[in-house]
Amino acid sequence: MNAVLSKMAKGITVCYSEAFPNQENDYFNFVYMGKIFLVADSYCMNPDCKCQEAVLNFVQAYPRDGRKADSFMIRLKLNGRGYKIHEHGRFIKREIQAIVMHFTADPTMLKLLNERYKEMKEKAKEILS
């Protein structure tokens, strides 16, 4: 938990799997156009912050043509009103848009991310008390 506290002090988002390491669903995974992606979700743990965002790191699990794994990172608004690309990796904007749309097409995904956001805020309060 020291790593989580250190990131909190620095204002860095914390990966859900760091705060809740024994969960079966540490990471999300899905298939898009025959490519397998893992998604790590991170959140601001400042209990006073009302950002309502998740930082999502998409990693293509099986590289194309024997190349190193590709990845990109976005900051997703949890109210469903869009996202900002932080790192493109080898992906072009249109490809990122299509992958994110596919990942968030099921409304239960946004609901789950919101639940995890709330869990992270509660965990922050617990750590700081």
pLDDT digit string, tens, across residues 48-92: 888 999 999 999 986 556 667 789 999 999 998 999 999 999 999
* Buried/exposed code over 6-23 (b: 16+ C-beta within 10 A; e: otherwise): ebbeeeebbbbebbeeee
pLDDT of residue 15: 93
Long-range contacts of 4-7 (CB under 8 A, 24+ apart): 4/45, 4/123, 4/127, 5/127, 7/45
Which whole number is the average pLDDT over 90-112? 95
Closest CA to 120 of 68, 51, 71: 51
- CB contact set of 22 (below 8 Å; sequence gap of 6+): none
pLDDT of residue 64: 59
Looking at per-residue confidence, does 18 or 62 come out higher?
18
Residue 73: which H helix or E strand, with range?
A: strand 71-77
pLDDT of residue 96: 97
Q: Is 95 exposed, middle or buried (0-12, 13-18, 19+ CB in 10 A)?
A: middle
pLDDT of residue 2: 64
Q: Band of the pLDDT at 128, cuts 50, 70, 90?
A: confident
Q: What whole-number distance in Å separates Cα of residue 96 and Cα of residue 113?
A: 19
pLDDT of residue 84: 97
Asked whether the predicted pLDDT for residue 21 surpasses 90, the reply is no
CA distances to 26, 30, 71 from 22, rounded to whole Å, are 8, 21, 25
CB 1, CB 126: distance < 8 Å: no
pLDDT above 70 as % of the chain: 88
